[in-house]
Amino acid sequence: MQPTNRSRRILLPVKLWFIWFSLIVALGLNFVPTGRLPAVPDFVALVLAFWCIREPLRIGMGSAFVFGLLVDIGHGAAMGQHALSYVVLVYLASALSRRMLWFPPLLQALHLLPVLLLAQALMVLARLLAGAEFPGWWYFLSSFSGAALWTPLTFLLLLPQYQPVDRDDNRPI
């Protein structure tokens, strides 16, 4: 029996404006001041990984770099710190994309978790080398909460592509 690609329903083509819109909304969510609350997921990283897995031709390292710089400025972090982490994240996610799409969202999240952790570890390493203080282990909780958000995020971001162009009773999709 042929294996079935379980995560791929027949989808409408993605709209370019929606990709950028979702990225900008994620950027806004990243800028919500939560103080030192642990386990706040990195929305931009998640949405970037999502689009780079679904649409590797449209979202790549260039956009990851630009959005990383914007997050750096909003967070008051060192310039290039998030950009570095996102570029590596997008590279690894696109390397995994052919494999990940064969799994249901929960298992996709399991694939993504080590990638998110690695991206965060890179950021910590870069800043520690530059002489910053270690933020504490709770810092890595945000990768876990991000992975937990993967299923609802997949549903939400694919929602516009689920709608049929026009309803046809003889050919339901």
Partner 1 sequence: MSLVGHQAPPIFRRGPTPLVRLIVFVSICLAMMVADIKYRYVDVLRQGLSVVTYPLQMAAAAPADVVLNASRYFATLLEVQLENADLRRQLLEAAQSLLRFEHLQRENEELRGLVGMAQRVPVISVSAEILYNAPDPFTRKVILNRGAQHGIQPGLAVVDAHGVIGQVTRVYPVQADVTLLTDKNQAIPVEVARNGLRGVLFGTGQGQLEMRFVLVGADIRAGDTLLTSGLDGVFLPGLPVATVSSVEREGQAFASIACEPAAGIERSVQVLVLGRQELPPPPPVPGAAGSSGGR
Q: How far apart are CA 137 and CA 123, in angstroms?
A: 13
Q: C-beta of 166: minimal distance to partner 1 in Å?
A: 29
Report which residue type is found at 103.
Answer: F
Supply 159's token pair. Answer: 């929602």
Q: How far apart are CA 173 and CA 113, in angstroms?
A: 32
Q: Among candidates 41, 30, 75, 10, which has minimal Cα distance to 151?
A: 41
- Choices 8-16, 31-39, 98-106, 152-160 (CB under 8 A): range interacting with partner 1: 31-39
Supply 58's token pair. Answer: 């449209």
Cβ closest to partner 1, residue 35 vs residue 172: 35
**Residue 168 interacts with partner 1 (CB under 8 A): yes or no:** no
CA 150 centroid distance within chain = 8
Query: Hey, which residues between 6 and 25 contact partner 1 (CB under 8 A)?
Result: 24
Asked if 160 and 18 count as a contact pair (C-beta separation under 8 A), the reply is: yes
Q: C-beta of 104: minimal distance to partner 1 in Å?
A: 26
Q: Give SS3 for 40.
A: coil
**Residue 59 interacts with partner 1 (CB under 8 A): yes or no:** no
- Choices 10-18, 61-69, 147-155, 157-165 (CB under 8 A): range interacting with partner 1: 61-69
**Residue 74 interacts with partner 1 (CB under 8 A): yes or no:** yes
Q: C-beta of 18: minimal distance to partner 1 in Å?
A: 18
Question: Which residues, including other chains, have CB under 8 Å from residue 165's CB and lie 6 or more apart?
Answer: 12
Query: Hey, which residues between 109 and 148 contact partner 1 (CB under 8 A)?
Result: 126-127, 130-133, 135-136, 139
Residue 137 per-residue DSSP state: G
Residues that bind partner 1 (CB under 8 A): 24, 27-36, 40, 57, 60-62, 64-65, 68-70, 73-81, 83-84, 87-88, 91, 94-95, 126-127, 130-133, 135-136, 139
